Amino acid sequence: MPEPVTRRIFADAAALNQAAAHLLTTLAQAAVAEYGRFSIALSGGGTPTGVYQRWAQPPFREAMPWRHTHLLWGDERLVPPDDAGSNYRQIADLLLPHVPIPPENVHRAKGELTMTAAVADYTQQLQAFAGGTAVPILDVVLLGLGSDGHTASLFPGSPVAQVDWVVGVTAEYDGRPAQRLSLTPTVINQARHVIFLVTGASKAATLQNVLDGPHQPEQLPAQRIQPAHGTLTWLLDVAAAQNLTP
């Protein structure tokens, strides 16, 4: 039976970043205490940058079991890892220099490959990480929401494969690299905890449609995210949440 969905609304970005860093740290500590490692698929985009920065500062920096933390990505743009548009690059800049994550625990999608090769490589990395062919169960998948209703790189009109774990996607959004790969709902919905971060008035109408509107997953791919067994948490600021029914 799926866990209930939680919505938490914060007055500003600082409060949201603090709460998100605290939640990630708490989930990491619990995972490592229970089975020795913590895995998280990270999000790109502008919204989580403050969370990543806060997570790398005291007291979370010291409290996090970084040596047992494995980083993956919910999506990646098909650009080299040192490109400004790379989601890996964002973490290489904001997090990796500040925390002792072993390099072998960083499972990046290889945006420098062709789409077909990158999808195959990332799928293999997920298989290796999960230790077999069963769908990997990640501890946390962190997600954002686009103003067009996309999440990760699952855009309106993107292929929706039931069996694939990773899909290649071409989508124009906000001047960002259009060639991408994405985890599918097949993987995301197996996670123990899915956390959306959504901020700003420009997301308010889309967020209202995703959360409180009719089920239209073709137009609003974020509605495909429904954890089968895990928790679903929406961390919002007041501007993004202004249209929601209390």
The Cβ-side half-sphere exposure at 200, using a 13 Å CA radius, reads: 10
Residue 76 in contact with residue 44, Cβ under 8 Å? Answer: yes
Answer yes or no: are the C-beta atoms of 170 and 182 closer than 8 Å: no
CB of 202 to ligand 6PG, least distance (A): 8
The reply to whether 43 sits near ligand 6PG by the rule CB under 6 A is yes
**Binding flag, residue 144, ligand 6PG (CB under 6 A):** yes
186, 234, 229: which is closest to 212 by C-alpha?
234
Binding status of residue 17 toward ligand 6PG by CB under 6 A: no
Residue selected from 87, 190, 223, 233 as contacting ligand 6PG according to rule CB under 6 A = 87
Q: Which residue has the tokens 């973490």?
A: 91
Closer Cβ to ligand 6PG, 65 or 156, answer by number = 156
The least CB distance from residue 15 to ligand 6PG, in Å, is: 17
Under rule CB under 6 A, residue 46 binds ligand 6PG: yes
- Give the torsion through C-alpha atoms of 25, 21, 233, 111, to 10 deg: -90
Residue 12 neighbours by CB distance under 10 Å? 12
Task: Tell which one of 17, 20, 38, 44 touches ligand 6PG (CB under 6 A).
Answer: 44
Binding track, positions 90-129, relative to ligand 6PG; x by CB under 6 A: ----------------------------------------
How many of the chain's residues bind ligand 6PG (CB under 6 A)? Answer: 15
The neighbour count for residue 201, using CB atoms within 10 Å, is 12
Asked whether position 149 contacts ligand 6PG by CB under 6 A, the answer is no
Contact partners, residue 221, CB within 8 Å, separation at least 6: 149, 150, 151, 154, 155, 156, 158, 160
Q: Is 87 or 123 the residue whose CB approaches ligand 6PG more closely?
A: 87
CB 101 within 8 A of CB 38: no
Determine which residue in the list 47, 69, 86, 158 makes contact with ligand 6PG, applying CB under 6 A. 47
Residue numbers at the binding site for ligand 6PG (CB under 6 A): 43-47, 74-75, 87, 144-146, 150-152, 176
